[in-house]
Amino acid sequence: MSITKLDQLFEVLKSKPKKRLVAAYANDAHTIEAVNDAVEKGIVDALLVGDEAVMRNVCREHGFDESKFRMVHEPNESKAAFKAVQLINEGEGDLLMKGLVSTDKYMKAILNKETGIMNPGAVLSHVTVMESPNYHKLLIVGDVAIIPLPDLKQKIAILNYLIAAAKGLGIEKPKVAVLSASEQVLVGMPSCVDAALLSKMAERGQISGAFVDGPLSLDAAIDMESAQIKKLTGPVAGDADCMLFPNIESGNIFYKANTKMANAELGAFVAGARVPCVLSSRGDTALTKLYSIALAALLAK
């Protein structure tokens, strides 16, 4: 069954084995609230790493049943992130979540060559699944948060992460739009050239499991009328499931414009590590964090 709304994640997960979440430096109410909601919905078991006294006090203040969580005491922010990653490596968790720890310390623990959770040569990328009231289905997009200006090799990795996420949501053969400012292959615009290369690679089977088309402008990717006016054919134009952005500026602006001005909701995670990693923003709602946990749980092996 294809998942067409984010809240359908919860029902799908109930029929699957429960995943184990490890939260790094879970010293704040926002993190514990989202984890508590996920535990109550029966989609994860949770292990909280942080200052145990602080975490228990947060639970008491907000009425969370602290007996629902395992807790590991590590009051130092950096050490808590490294401890959370260590627990993943020891087989204690299936997905990682950022708590109150700063993003740079969280990423440093993930990326550490000796103790982290990266395989050699792997590329980290942020994958977002967005539910917009102005689009007829979920949109899977990247990268909006990690890679500033992806080269062709990184775009191949991002594209494959988008395809994997779409397949995890039940989309048998996702339609991927590789975005640029034009549908023409303009030699002076590197994103157009990369898009054309990716499209040809998919056509020849070097990228598999999806329809890939590019370069496509944003309107041609998600608006059928625009695609028809521009005389674009093929399965992707006007009906994309996934969109690959040419750089972080375009992706991040799309992400924030949709959430702040179009009331879109989303779940997101970082792909490329040995387990999905939830990287919540300080501005994310508890619901966004809950959807992110559910998405990571769905895609965790």
> What is the per-residue pLDDT for 69?
96
Q: Which of 1-5, 37-41, 97-101, 283-287 has the lowest mean pLDDT?
A: 283-287
Average pLDDT estimate for 83-92? 98
Average pLDDT estimate for 292-297? 98
Sign of CA dihedral 91, 16, 38, 168: positive
Separation between Cα atoms, residue 211 and residue 233, nearest integer Å: 12
In tens, the pLDDT along 144-165 reads 999 999 999 999 999 999 999 9
Separation between Cα atoms, residue 251 and residue 246, nearest integer Å: 8
125-261 is classed CATH 3.40.718.10 = yes
Alpha carbon 301 to chain centroid distance?
A: 15
Separation between Cα atoms, residue 100 and residue 235, nearest integer Å: 43
Domain ranges of the chain: 8-121+273-299, 125-261
In tens, the pLDDT along 100-145 reads 999 999 999 999 999 999 999 999 999 999 999 999 999 999 999 9
DSSP state of 102: -
For 60, residues 6+ apart whose C-beta sits below 8 A from its C-beta are 66
Average pLDDT estimate for 88-92? 98
Query: Tell me, which fold does domain 8-121+273-299 have in CATH?
Result: Rossmann fold (3.40.50)
